[in-house]
A and B are shown apart, each in its own frame.
Chain A
Amino acid sequence: MPVFEAVRLALQVIWNQKMKSAFSVVGVFIGVTFLIAVVTIVEGMNNYMEDTFAGALLGVNTFGVRYRPSVNVGDTPREVWRSWRRRPRITFEDAEAVAAGLSVPVITAVESESNASVDYEGTTANNVRIIGASDSYFALKGWNIQEGRPFTEQEASFGTPVAVIGSELAEVLFGNSDPLGRTVRIRNFPYRVVGVVEKQGNVFGFSLDNFAVAPALSPVKRFVNPPRIVDALLVKAETDLLMRAAMAEAEAIMRRRRQLRPATDNNFELETSDGVLDFWSKISGVLLAAIPGLVSISLVVGGIVIMNIMLMSVSERTREIGIRKSLGARQRDIMRQFLVESATLSTVGAGLGIATGLGMAKLVAELSFLPASVAGWSIGAAVVLGMGVGITAGILPARKASRLDPVEAISQE
């Protein structure tokens, strides 16, 4: 009998005994559901961390020259914090020197930020990220200006009070009316809105669109940082390789400026998204390492259940086996019939588990900030595991069935 037909017959048997089949695949079902749900969430987090989180917060192929890391993951010892605090800050001069000294083709921009409220005719938006930056900042961040324009080089160098705002801030302050040309007050400094940046969405529930970018030399400089100080010089290269080259050059320039001896550590930071991603890969590694244990427990239990149900099934169907043998079924035909049945049963359970696992992951993604992304390998693994458990669990019952004596089997009531 061709395998395809054997599977069809097996499905028929399974369907005829819906209740029993459902109970017998619970173990496999739970194991696979868990596998798929966890892998889907972890995979979603992976993509999220790599694309959205690292990309949006730190930028792709971008590093920042800072006096200390802006994103801290894991535990930082106290002494390290203290030594960070003693470091000299990055100045406009440092930034200019590094930007001018890099031979690798890059985009550079300074960045300083602080939170402040923004007012427009009696409406106040609180906790807005106020960013003082260069005119190249928008190109560096890859932001699209949805309305209006970015500020110009002249505006940047004169410190003209113009601002480019995020879509959420525009929404809060202006509703449906046109923000362009209006004057808002950032910490009471009047600023003219010249552009609105396209909506970027959320990272873990935090809006990325609640900000205003103004020239670094405009009045915001008075509160985003002490005089002459910037948070960072951001440097973006085309590729990771170019970024690494630019980092080496930036490090050399900074060390020269600060006259650090060869044995002395850097008293500044070259920050990329690597640190965040490293930390995440440690977490996801732990999560993924826990999967095999938990999944294999439920699969072993599931396999034992299937084996027992199949043994029962062989007893119940002794007569059928006898009939089939009397009609010319060989041992291997009977063996195959029961193996296919148990493999199909288990694979159906795995299939339901895959569907439920994906459904659960999507539901979690809907209801929380956790993202979900389907990993192809996990589905493949689930199917293979399901089938494997079924075949393994089916061997003993199938062998028992195939070895039944036809005379005895057929006279069974």
Chain B
Amino acid sequence: MSAPVIKVRDLRREYAMGAETIRALRGVDLDIMVNEYVAIMGPSGSGKSTLMNTIGCLDTPTSGEYWLNSQEVSTLGDDELARVRNREIGFVFQTFNLLPRATALHNVELPLIYSGEKKSERKRRAEEALELVGLGDRMDHRPNELSGGQRQRVAVARALINKPSIILADEPTGNLDSRTSEDIIGLFAELHDKGQTIIVVTHEPDIAAHAHREITLKDGTVFSDSLRQAA
């Protein structure tokens, strides 16, 4: 069996909030394999956002180990973390997080700018990614000229552009109606079929139902971790 994409050991994260110390993660252990489709669930305050931010290298743990692709990232500095975010992780956010003044094409290009690709190469790959999510005819549109579903497709195209090890989606359908939600979930299923590792953080059971594995957090620890038979 190959090494896991994500290996987390005794991960802890504490925040100082005034005099109080918030312990958001209290020792999480987790292994996620290549091409898994994982849903992370849990009530608010369960630590799922913190876990996602840590897995996404936006946040560093207070203690514990985090291995991404057999590289220990819990000890990396800011610049290296930026590099990991750029190459290994594709984010999809609830609020899309597109740059409002930039076109769809430029939004998708952004990660390539930070990985130092040449302009022509950037354009070619960004166009390719937008074609892949079915927005080949919307490249020059700005976010406010696109529907919610289309915006999230742009975000998915952006997440895919650097061929990341994992797609990390935080409530990806939270701002979408049920039909467009299905669209996006369908897109995730397609990507998963092509071999993509996907982690979705959600509190909606319908969305989690599409994943093959469901991890529930509670009070900063893993409460349950179960494989689903049918997908």
List A residues at the B interface (Cβ < 8 Å): 1, 5, 12-13, 16, 319-320, 322-333, 406-407, 410
Contacts and interface: CB of A to CB of B under 8 A. Distances in A.
Contacts of B78: 330-331
Contacts of B79: 330-332
Interface of B: 53, 56, 58-59, 78-79, 82-83, 85-87, 91, 93, 97-99, 101, 110-111, 113-115, 119, 158, 162
Most B CB atoms within 10 A — which of A5, A325, A327, A331?
Answer: A327
Report whether over half of chain A's contact residues are helix, strand or loop; otherwise say mixed. helix
Nearest to A13: B101
Given A327-B86, A327-B111, A330-B82, 17 more contacts: A1-B114, A319-B97, A323-B110, A325-B85, A326-B56, A327-B91, A327-B110, A328-B111, A330-B78, A331-B79, A331-B82, A332-B79, A333-B82, A333-B114, A406-B59, A407-B53, A410-B93
Given A5-B119, A407-B59, A410-B58, A330 B97 contact: no
Nearest to A325: B82
B114 to A, nearest CB: 4
Contacts of A326: 56, 58, 85, 91, 97
A329 B59 CA distance: 15
A177 B162 CA distance: 86
A13 B91 CA distance: 25
A5 B114 CA distance: 13
B88 to A, nearest CB: 10
Contacts of B119: 5
Q: Closest 8 A-B residue pairs measured CB to CB?
A: A328-B86, A328-B114, A330-B82, A327-B111, A406-B58, A330-B79, A323-B97, A328-B85
A328 B82 contact: yes
Contacts of B85: 325-328
Contacts of A410: 58, 93, 97
21 contacts: A12-B101, A319-B97, A322-B97, A323-B98, A323-B99, A324-B114, A325-B58, A325-B82, A325-B85, A326-B58, A326-B91, A327-B86, A328-B83, A328-B87, A329-B82, A330-B114, A331-B82, A332-B79, A406-B58, A407-B58, A407-B59
A406 B85 CA distance: 11
Contacts of B53: 407
Contacts of B59: 406-407
B169 to A, nearest CB: 13
Contact of B158 (A13, A327, A330): A327
Contacts of B93: 410
Contacts of B82: 325, 328-331, 333
Contacts of B111: 327-328
Contacts of A328: 82-83, 85-87, 111, 114-115, 162
A354 to B, nearest CB: 29
A327 B96 CA distance: 13
A1 B56 contact: no
